[in-house]
Structure 1
Amino acid sequence: MTEPGSSRSRPKGAYDVVLSFRGKDTRKNFTDHLYTALVQAGIHTFRDDNELPRGEEISKHLVKAIQESKISIVVFSKGYASSRWCLNELVQILECKNRNTNQIVLPIFCDIDPSDVRKQTGSFAKAFDKHEEQFKEKAKEWRKALEEAGNLSGWNLNEMANGYAFSFYGSLVGINLKSFIINPRLVNL
């Protein structure tokens, strides 16, 4: 199946990139611009647009997208840790990365310091105060995932001037992602 805007063929449902983000924080601004830049570059990108009711279990469709993707981009924001859905999604992403050495996780820190993610301080500490009351064991798993993700090399948008956000999208898409995505027509040559 050929995706709109892409000349590459791929099996139906296989994604190059999965975007993980807290919709309430970044859906209508940063993540929307990033998604548009990826799609315009011909990169088959999954984002959860369904606004499904958030429970503890992530959807089978999302799990499949994560498992089959080459890259997961995790957009951390101030409210990310308050969402059990986002935290469960992050655990799934890192489990796939750790099982499949070819899968890449790229964190983007949007209005949050990477150390807040890594150490669960600031708004992340407040979220975990609530989580640990109800989900003691699960909170340990989430903390471990946040620490691992916070230690990955990524981008801290707080260190970029607002005028450079659009050039960031272009550099992320043009340089970093395309080098990781293999054109299926080149395989078996």
Structure 2
Amino acid sequence: MPRLLAPCSKLAYTRYIRKPTIPNPNRCDIFINHRGIDTKKTISGLLYDHFNRLRLNSFLDSKSLKPGDRLFVEINAAIKECSVGVAVFSPRYCDSYFCLHELTKLMENKKRVIPIFCDIKPSELCVKDDGTCSDAEIERFQSALEEAKYTVGLTFDTSNGYALSQSYSLFYNVHQNLTLCGL
């Protein structure tokens, strides 16, 4: 028995049907910037799967990189090519050099960034100087983080147990932003 699509789902499906059936592997529509240990198996993974079902090429390191790929080369290329960045901030986000590097690249490339604050408030985000980065790099990271903190974003609270309903709300809001970018 064929499954009927709900009116909302049908609208979303027909809206994105114009996308090619075989995604161009060299194109990146959406770059998902996240701290893997915090969100890869929750909101970041859900976003990646949702975008791909809509035939939007999204970049998520664990799904997009292959053995032998050079991390910074591939990540920087995906950021340069993307139309939108989704930054998923989480409690251990600022502990990661990669997260801060990716966010800084998104901001320096003037990409539209949609912040998602997952179990953290914007005011709780700060760059920690552990002595491994130069002063110039710390300053670049702080500037990018401040810009993201003062961009209207979305919140995701895993403690309330409504991950699926929150996910749908996030998908809808991210889609609104993608529409503004012509995706």
Q: 1:138 deviation in Å?
A: 1.4
| Cα distance change on mapping 1:109 and 1:181 into 2, 3 Å | same
SS in 1 for 2:33: strand
Q: Distance in 2 between matches of 1:20 and 1:112?
A: 15
Does 1 or 2 have the higher relative contact order (CA < 8 Å, sep 6+)? 1
Q: 1:160 deviation in Å?
A: 8.7
Pick one of 31, 36, 48 that aligns with 1:18.
31
Q: 1:172 deviation in Å?
A: 3.3
Greater mean deviation of Cα atoms: 172-181 or 150-159: 172-181
Pick one of 32, 39, 45 that aligns with 2:58.
45
Match of 1:170 in 2: 168
Consecutive unaligned residues in structure 1, runs of 5 or more = 98-102, 184-189
Q: Aligned partner of 1:146: which letter?
A: L
Pick one of 98, 106, 109 that aligns with 1:85.
98
Match of 1:64 in 2: 77
| Cα distance change on mapping 1:105 and 1:42 into 2, 3 Å | same
Does the 8 A contact of 1:67 with 1:96 survive in 2? yes
SS in 1 for 2:32: strand
Q: Aligned partner of 2:91: which letter?
A: K
- Check if 1:104 corresponds to 2:112: yes
Q: For this pair of structures, how many residues does the alignment match?
A: 161
Match of 2:180 in 1: 180
Q: 1:43 deviation in Å?
A: 2.1
Q: 1:179 deviation in Å?
A: 1.6
Greater mean deviation of Cα atoms: 31-40 or 174-183: 174-183
Match of 1:33 in 2: 46
Match of 2:13 in 1: none
What's the TM-score once normalised by structure 1's chain length?
0.72
Q: 1:129 deviation in Å?
A: 4.0
SS in 2 for 1:73: strand
SS in 1 for 2:115: strand
Greater mean deviation of Cα atoms: 140-149 or 37-46: 37-46
Q: 1:58 deviation in Å?
A: 5.6
| Cα distance change on mapping 1:19 and 1:92 into 2, 3 Å | same
Q: Distance in 2 between matches of 1:178 and 1:73?
A: 11
Q: 1:134 deviation in Å?
A: 4.8
Does the 8 A contact of 2:156 with 2:166 survive in 1? no
Q: RMSD across aligned C-alpha pairs, in angstroms?
A: 2.9
Q: Distance in 2 between matches of 1:159 and 1:115?
A: 18
Match of 2:8 in 1: none
* Residues 64-98 of structure 1: CA deviation (Å, up to 9, x unaligned): 2111111100001111111111111111000111x
